[in-house]
Amino acid sequence: MNRTPQSVTSLQPVAPPPESVTSLQPVAPPPQSVTSLQPVAPPPESVTSLQPVTPPPQSVAQPLRPIAHRLVLVSEHLCPYVQRVAIVLAEKGIPFERVFVDLSNKPAWFTDISPLGKTPLLRVDDHVIFESAVICEYVEDISPEHPLHPRDPLARANRRAWMAFGSEVLNDIAGLETTTDPSVFERKRSAIATKFRRMERALGPGPYFAGDDFSLVDAVFGPVFRYFDVFDSIADTGVFREVPRVNEWRAALKERPSVRAAVGADYPERLRAFLARKNAYLLSYSAESPS
Ligand SMILES: N[C@@H](CCC(=O)N[C@@H](CS)C(=O)NCC(=O)O)C(=O)O
């Protein structure tokens, strides 16, 4: 039985929204069908020159499923948004290729096809999808036989909201890991600790966000927690104090094959090098923080 903490009945009852349905703005029908997505020119690399094709990890339970499209995940080695997509594809057992870009020196083919100049992108044949949450939902849509979202619309909305919450934590982490300013560091550290305490109240008995079933929320938080595997080796930021469920969830995600396989073995070294390049205050926090 799936111990889902946020079943519809457990959602906080809320007052009806101020607008009645009839007062909502009528909306035009969605303009783009899949076929109307902007087709893009293929990247300059041929298939064979694409960076290591990363097959989904073999230990992931789902057998490989051939799908009708060729998928290429345009990646950056440390990017947590890329990781969430890699995790979802692996959970689904969908084969995909990966190509890596250097975001400090973006190649022209990448800026041509990335409207925001950001990773990840998912190339689907000659089409490109950007924004990681949208990509995850697309992958969910094309493989409904192994759902990572609940069916109920309200429960789905709740999951999407916690995915967005995860992105807010990532914004705080981006500040924490790049700042050279102790006061900014403390502000970000405190913001993350507050969010984890809020998360603690949203979690059920685990092991995952929604009980036994791995979901899109888990795919978002695996990369969030991974940062702290490296940070913890430098300093105790204290953000995991008094949040036992979050700690158990973190431990469960760390063991999940799809989460493990979403980055290369050199991830810790790459992250440490990134912190050094940024002259991150986190690196000196170790000397000043109580052990
Ligand atoms: N909202 C975006 C965020 C993606 C993002 O911030 N990607 C970062 C790398 S982790 C990036 O590409 N940064 C390069 C830049 O902003 O120039 C998503 O969910 O896909």
The pLDDT tens digits of the residues spanning 131-149 come to 999 999 999 999 999 999 9
* 66 and 161 inside one domain: no
pTM of the model: 0.82
Kindly state if the Cβ of 215 falls inside 6 Å of ligand 1.
Answer: no
Does residue 176 lie in a domain region?
yes
CATH value at residue 165? 1.20.1050.10
Q: What angle do CA 94, 261, 155 make, to 5 degrees?
A: 60
Q: How many separate domains does the chain show?
A: 2
Question: What domain range includes position 84?
Answer: 37-142
SS3 151: coil
Average pLDDT over residues 13-31: 40
Beta strand pairing call for 97-100 and 121-124: unpaired
Do 136 and 164 share a domain, yes or no? no
Of 142, 166, 192, the domain-final residue: 142
Residue 129 pLDDT grade (very low, low, confident, very high; cuts 50, 70, 90): very high
Residues 94 and 71: their CA atoms lie apart, in Å, by: 9
Pair (283, 162) in one structural domain: yes
Residue 103 CA, ligand 1 centroid: distance in Å: 9
Quick check: helix, strand or coil at residue 95? Answer: coil
Q: Please report, for the domain that includes residue 94, its CATH number.
A: 3.40.30.10
Q: For 152-177, what is each residue's pLDDT tens digit?
A: 999 999 999 999 999 999 999 999 99
- Residue 176 and residue 103 share a domain: no
Pair 123, 60 in one domain: yes
For ligand 1, atom 10, name the residue with the nearest CA: 79
Judgement on whether residues 219 and 268 belong to the same structural domain of the protein: yes
Q: Which of 100, 121, 142 is the last residue of a domain?
A: 142
Ligand 1 atom having least distance to the Cα of 79: 10
Q: Is residue 30 part of a domain?
A: no
Identity (one letter) of the amino acid at 129? I
pLDDT (tens digit per residue) in 49-92: 333 344 444 444 566 666 789 999 999 999 999 999 999 999 99
At 49 the pLDDT is 33
